[in-house]
Amino acid sequence: MDDVRMIEVKEEILADNNQVAAGVRDQLRSKKTLLINLMSSPGSGKTSLILRTVEGLKQGVKLGVIEADIDSKVDAEKVAARGIPAIQLRTGGFCHLDATMVTQGIDALSANILDLIIIENVGNLVCPAEFDTGAHKNVMILSVPEGDDKPLKYPLMFSICDVLLVNKIDYLSLSDFDLAAMRKRVLALNPNIKIIEVSCKTGAGLEEWIAWLQKEVESFRSGQRSK
Amino acid sequence: MHELPITESILKIVLKHADKNNVRQVMAIHLRIGKLSDLEDDWIQRYFDYLSKGTVAQGAKLIIERTPIILQCNSCKTSYEADMAAIGDAVCPACGQTDSTLISGREYYIKDMEVQ
């Protein structure tokens, strides 16, 4: 019988995905297309935010949307009804998008020259945080009815995002959601995150979100490297 | 929840190294996974057992070392360990500040494997 021997492996398990993601980022940067990865729990308002963003962005910003859902195309139809090119990726049971799936979405949108592509990731605060999609910026939504303890339960998601949109603030007076406690928990995980309170229903706070996005799009269009 | 794609990646890397080293049987695989990951050890093993059927890695045991969540205080640079459940409420034990940077806890790494 052969002796048992040890082989050194020393490899990152997610190296393949990370490499594809880095390729997506570079390719889109050279085309001056900003890629945003939007993540949240189911029902916190990702599709509503995208529809509000379509209304709010300046004329002339060309937007495309990659929708991910386990098995439906309801979201893409809502976006396409506004005249925005939208691709629905059905993840077929997968709980997140990876960089290869995003590549398929980008290819399917490639007939359009775009300034901005928003990925609506699968509604889930766990898995999407682990897989780099190739996005230049990660944005998440936490809605008031979900509770202020979510940063304690899903720390990884809060730690990887550039922007946190706290949605449904019109519901704040009806709930015991503690904005200050939530803010403190999120900033402890991620001191650089930008927190914006919004309501996709009333429109409150959306101008700050649109201004941030518009600035990012413009810095990409002018070929500047955004931080 | 995302154990399946992670396990597929593990198997792919393991088989690549097994092939390179003329391995007849993989006995065990040593992994390093950060505590911030929500992966369940039992499920990774179950998926691995299923995916590895008919390969030289069939029957291999996954031995998972969990690396701690380490934060570094942005004010005084002290490093300290945090618990997953309390990470959002973590404060620096040296100076009491909450502003910190994550320096360990997200690892997904294959160290080595025992083979015949």
B86/B83 Cα distance (integer angstroms): 5
In a domain, A57, yes or no: yes
Asked if pLDDT for residue A227 goes beyond 50, the answer is: no
Chain B residues touching chain A at CB-CB below 8 Å: 1-2, 5-6, 9-10, 12-14, 17-18, 21, 23-24, 27, 29, 31, 36-38, 74, 84-91, 98-102, 106, 108-116
In a domain, A11, yes or no: no
B57/A48 Cα distance (integer angstroms): 47
In a domain, A72, yes or no: yes
Here the tokens at position A50 are 């995208």
**Which of A9, A127, A151 has the CB atom closest to B2's CB atom?**
A127
Residue type, B42: D
Q: If you average pLDDT over every residue of chain A, what do you get?
A: 91
Q: How many CB pairs under 8 A join A and B?
A: 110
Overall average pLDDT of the A1-28 stretch: 92
pTM for this prediction: 0.87
In a domain, A6, yes or no: no
In a domain, A97, yes or no: yes
In a domain, A159, yes or no: yes
| Segment A121-150, tens digit of pLDDT | 999 998 899 899 999 999 999 999 999 999
Look up residue A226 and give its DSSP letter.
Answer: P
In a domain, A1, yes or no: no
SS3 A198: coil
Tell me how many domains chain B contains. 1
What's A135-166 look like in SS3?
A: CCEEEEEEEHHHCCCHHHHCHHHHHHCCEEEE
In a domain, A147, yes or no: yes
Tell me how many domains chain A contains. 1
Residue by residue, DSSP assigns B44-86 as HHHHHHHHTTTSTTTTPEEEEEEEPEEEEETTT--EEEE-GGG
Residue A10 falls in which region: left (phi positive, over 0), alpha (psi -120 to 50) or beta:
left
* Contact assignment for B21 to A187 by CB distance below 8 Å: no
Residue B83 CB: number of other CB atoms within 10 A?
11
Domain encompassing residue B68:
3-115
Q: What is the CATH number of the domain that holds B103?
A: 3.30.2320.80
Give the CA count within 13 Å in the CB-facing half-sphere of A106. Answer: 27
| Segment B33-58, tens digit of pLDDT | 998 887 888 999 999 999 999 999 99
Domain encompassing residue A92:
19-219
Confidence at residue A2, expressed as pLDDT on a 0 to 100 scale: 66
